[in-house]
Amino acid sequence: MKIARTVKELRKFLEPLGRERVGFVPTMGYLHEGHLSLVKRSRAECDLTVVSIFVNPAQFGPNEDLDRYPRDEERDRSLLEKEGVDLLFLPSVDEMYPPGFAARVEVPGLSERLCGAFRPGHFSGVCTVVLKLFEMVRPARAYFGLKDAQQFLILRRMVRDLNLPVAMIGCPTIREGDGLARSSRNVYLSEEERSIAPVIYRALTRAADRIESAASPLPSAGEILAEVRSTIESAGPFKIDYVQLVDPETLCDLKEARLPCLLAVAAWLGRTRLIDNILLGLDKGEGS
């Protein structure tokens, strides 16, 4: 596996190869099976797989966990090597944001909803770094997890709106045996918190079963959401940011539980913010 730390090193390796062969998996590192599932998919579909690890300051708010975000470069490198990754891009903050850097990419509308309402500027930071990475790596295909469904939908919109020649591939959420969505932030959880965290997915699946089996009249969104909320809150000291049932294209709230829909939760458990979702009635394969 080649390592590039600068754009110059990256381009030197990729330039002769041509864009059509390259699959790309952007990450913030501290890798787990969720990340590796994206790598495996890229390896299966592309001639060459590039992974980036960059903890992007632009997508963290001033009181968020940028400083304590978990990092382990050595372990990540060996995991990626085992997966047969061709090139790992490990840029520094200065390489990505040199002095005087000012540009921002915004996708208004989608970016203020769900997590955006609680993390102002977050999705602009994500879009800005992903557009930069796309320009540096110039992939034909890019792989993202649907665990971060809003992120995927916003990035897909950015790619469409800006005519970027990248196929956006949304991949299913990888979970622990008890249903908890894999996340680098799960290491923040205490033993007790870890044992109650899977209630989020249990509440989501129960609601999803109800939505999928509903006959007319359809249940109201309010009814479904109240049940999800009470299941989560009765399991432990969660502080819920939101439980929402939205249209997966517009992310606008639905009044009735109809398909397709995105049922999404963000909740704090102690110092850890957990997010999870279920996408219903949508082709979860190719996102473009």
User: By beta-carbon distance, which residue lies closest to ligand AMP?
Assistant: 145
Torsion of CA 203, 177, 73, 53, to 10 degrees: -50
76 contributes a contact to ligand AMP by CB under 6 A: no
27 contributes a contact to ligand AMP by CB under 6 A: yes
Considering beta carbons, is residue 221 or 241 the nearer one to ligand AMP? 241
Within 10 angstroms of residue 209's Cβ, the number of other Cβ atoms is 10
- Candidates 4, 28, 36, 46; binder of ligand AMP (CB under 6 A) is 28
- Candidates 124, 128, 150, 184; binder of ligand AMP (CB under 6 A) is 184
Shortest reach from residue 37's CB to ligand AMP, in Å: 6
- Residue with tokens 């890019």, as numbered in its chain: 142
The rounded distance, in Å, linking the Cα atoms of 31 and 82 is 13
The rounded distance, in Å, linking the Cα atoms of 252 and 278 is 16
- Candidates 43, 132, 182, 273; binder of ligand AMP (CB under 6 A) is 182
Site for ligand AMP in 162-181 (CB under 6 A): 171, 173-174, 181
Stretch that binds ligand AMP, among 27-35, 41-49, 200-208, 249-257 (CB under 6 A): 27-35
Shortest reach from residue 232's CB to ligand AMP, in Å: 19
Three-state secondary structure call for residue 23: strand
- Candidates 113, 147, 156, 273; binder of ligand AMP (CB under 6 A) is 147
- Candidates 124, 183, 186, 272; binder of ligand AMP (CB under 6 A) is 183
Stretch that binds ligand AMP, among 34-42, 110-118, 157-165, 191-199 (CB under 6 A): 34-42
- Catalytic-residue membership of 32: no
Task: Encode 177-186: b = buried (16+ Cβ within 10 Å), e = exposed.
Answer: eeebbbbbbb
Considering beta carbons, is residue 113 or 224 the nearer one to ligand AMP? 113
Within 10 angstroms of residue 61's Cβ, the number of other Cβ atoms is 13
Long-range contacts from 183-186, C-beta under 8 angstroms, 24+ separation: 183/32, 183/34, 183/147, 183/274, 184/28, 184/29, 184/30, 184/31, 184/32, 184/69, 184/70, 185/65, 185/70, 185/272, 185/273, 185/274, 186/272
DSSP code, position 285: S
**What are the DSSP E strand ranges found in 17-136?**
22-27, 48-53, 87-89
Q: Active site residue: 35, 41, 77, 113, which one? A: 35
Shortest reach from residue 226's CB to ligand AMP, in Å: 27
Residue 176 near residue 197, CB atoms below 8 Å: no
Considering beta carbons, is residue 176 or 256 the nearer one to ligand AMP? 176
Binding site for ligand AMP (CB under 6 A): 27-28, 34-35, 37-38, 144-145, 147-148, 171, 173-174, 181-184
Instruction: Point out the residues that are catalytic.
Output: 35
